[in-house]
Amino acid sequence: MSIQEGDAAPAFSLPASGGRMVSSTALQGRPYVLYFYPKADTSGCTKEACAFQEALPQLGKLGLEVIGVSPDPIKPIEKFAAKYNLTFPLASDETKETAQAYGVWVEKAMYGRKYMGIERSTFLVDAKGRIARAWRKVKVDGHAKDVAAAAGL
């Protein structure tokens, strides 16, 4: 199942860095960015998280929350957030339910080996809880700027 622009954003409730809980219910009536990344503290994921951290002031002006989601347990996520001073919530989706609901838990292949993993993806959810924009198979360079531009900057 693949989420399309215009669809209702799937509901979620996840533990996040800083002892927080993030949920679609708590975000009702507010736009937000939900981005899925494969693994905390790896080069591409670090680059992406730091770019979103840098874009926070601009995104904040639009009232946009940013939430990163990975299948990592909360402990490595907390270490990752602390190491790079990431102030936005990084959520743990160990069950992969949220990733599956968004259609980003997919079969991947590397060196001829097939495995299941996160397809780096970002969703811009509007204040009505609908997918305003969806980016799949994200290339990290310049992505946070693209999201900010799409959000209306």
Catalytic, 50? Answer no
Which ranges constitute the DSSP H helices of 22-142?
43-61, 74-83, 97-101
DSSP H or E stretch at residue 91: strand 90-92
| Residues 52 and 90: beta-carbon distance below 8 Å | no
In the set 14, 22, 33, 45, the catalytic residue is 45
What is the DSSP code (8-state) at residue 88?
S
> In angstroms, rounded to a whole number, what is the distance separating the alpha carbons of residues 4 and 103?
10
| Residues 123 and 102: beta-carbon distance below 8 Å | yes
Nearest C-alpha neighbor of 130 from the set 31, 21, 13, 2: 31
> In angstroms, rounded to a whole number, what is the distance separating the alpha carbons of residues 95 and 52?
25
What is the DSSP code (8-state) at residue 140?
S
Residues involved in catalysis:
45
